[in-house]
Amino acid sequence: MSVVTRFAPSPTGYLHVGGLRTALFSWLAAQHNKGAFLLRIEDTDMARNSEAAKDAILKAFEWVGMSHDGEVVYQSKRFDLYKKYIDQLLAEGKAYKCYMSKEELTALREEQMAKKERTRYDGRYRDFTGAPPEGVEPVIRIKAPQEGTISFVDGVKGEMNIAATEVDDFVIARADGAPTYNFVVAIDDALMGLTDVIRGDDHLYNTPKQIVVYNALGFDIPNFYHVAMINNEQGKKLSKRDGATDVMDYKTMGYLPEALLNFLVRLGWSHGDQEIFSLEEMIVLFDPNDINKSSSNYNLDKLLWLNAHYIKEAPNEKLIALLKDFGVDLTGNAKASAILTATKERGKTLVELAEQIKLLTTAPTEYDAKSAKKAFKGEAKEILSTFADMLALVQPTTKEAYHAVMEKIVEEKEIGFGKIGMPLRVSLMGSMTGAGMDEVMAVLGVDETIARIEKAIARIE
């Protein structure tokens, strides 16, 4: 049987990294087995649904390049289908109308809590044959097994055995007719042909309820894989402050999608000590049975390290296109390749890379006070002046030639390299930051380099 997986977000907010990791694991499992990966929008909660949230989910998928198979399934368009199965269960005596009022339900819960019992529905309408009470719109409850064990093998957690008494006759349709989560999820997963359900372990105890629905309707039960949550670096639940933010925010912050996916695949899955995986390698190597049982910790330094790697490895044409969104347009610039060579080793994000490029290509209008105070002292003015004269004479064209001029100054004046390097860097970049001086000068050319040095000399004077 071909593997079929899915991702099924609710459109009540943005797609965050935890959701994207679940989607990635599901997508990889399908790709590895040449199966199908389906996308379902669970939008039955009409009061909380957001069109913007739906769009955000689809845009995030497009950005990271995880295409889904077939049309997107919207639960809000399947209410007639769900009603058909509710009516079927009622007709077969596998579900029933419950007329318990909210007040009765509250009183029952308070009584159970006072006795330190687990709160649960007591089945009082399970076999009810009397006249329905007036003024109460019934909910529909499914008849859960009252004895035995509900068992399934979880691909991550192992064998799971839940006493049937732990699952009460839960509601499958509310008083207004709206179907409930566990009911529609089981129906959709079955009808969409799911073979493998990969999801967060916060859904682990929904599974017994869904198995009750599968069994009542005679559906095949898929394989389940419940993935441990992502924690922050302190081992606590990941918050927005830690990184549980909108996936598209990572694009805005200058991360590459391949870096984010590589980062997420390692949060709960591994292949030996390998850290860097191309998408093709992930597809070849990923097996949901290898998902770790324990929670993973979000590590921003690791994400930045991966992003820096992918920036350095990216073709210049790709970076030129991406940098346009960050205020840098190198299209048609004859020195684009040299500019990127000089800067992309120093940009962990596209935001940082853009800043480095702007530092290089834009003459400083002012100098960092602390850097200038440290660099523009002693013989700095004389050294810069001599260096500018030598550049005008030699007319270097390569970074090696510029470096040779710097070495000649150091040799002739019998000074340390810092005596020329520090004032030169501040002259050209405005501060102590930026690419290597020889690379910077090779990009700027002799005339621009001298112009920036002369401006710095005027500042010293």
The helix or strand, by DSSP H or E, that contains position 211, with its residue range, turns out to be helix 207-217
Cα 87–93–99 angle (5° rounding)?
75
HEC string of 300-366? HHHHHHHHHHHHHHCCHHHHHHHHHHHCCCCCCCCCHHHHHHHHHHHCCCHHHHHHHHHHHHCCCCC
Is the alpha carbon torsion for 452, 457, 460, 461 positive or negative?
A: negative
Closest CA to 387 of 371, 372, 408: 408
Cα dihedral angle (219, 170, 118, 129), rounded to 10 degrees? Answer: -120
User: Hey, what amino acid is at 83?
Assistant: K
Measure Cα distances from 206 to 167, 200, 211 in Å: 10, 11, 9
Measure Cα distances from 114 to 104, 117, 118, 167 in Å: 15, 8, 10, 21
Helices assigned H by DSSP within 43-145: 51-64, 79-91, 102-114
**Cβ 29 vs Cβ 5: under 8 Å:** yes
Chain-centroid distance, C-alpha 127:
48
Cβ neighbour number for residue 139 with a 10 Å cutoff = 23
Locate the DSSP E strands across 230-302.
Answer: 230-231, 296-297
The Cα–Cα gap between 199 and 339 comes to 44
Closest CA to 25 of 238, 261, 237, 192: 261
Choosing from 84, 236, 240, 293, the catalytic residue is 240
Active site residue 240: yes
User: Hey, what amino acid is at 211?
Assistant: I
The helix or strand, by DSSP H or E, that contains position 451, with its residue range, turns out to be helix 437-460
Q: Name, in order, each residue with C-beta under 8 angstroms of 103's C-beta and a sequence gap of 6 or more.
A: none
Residues noted as catalytic: 240
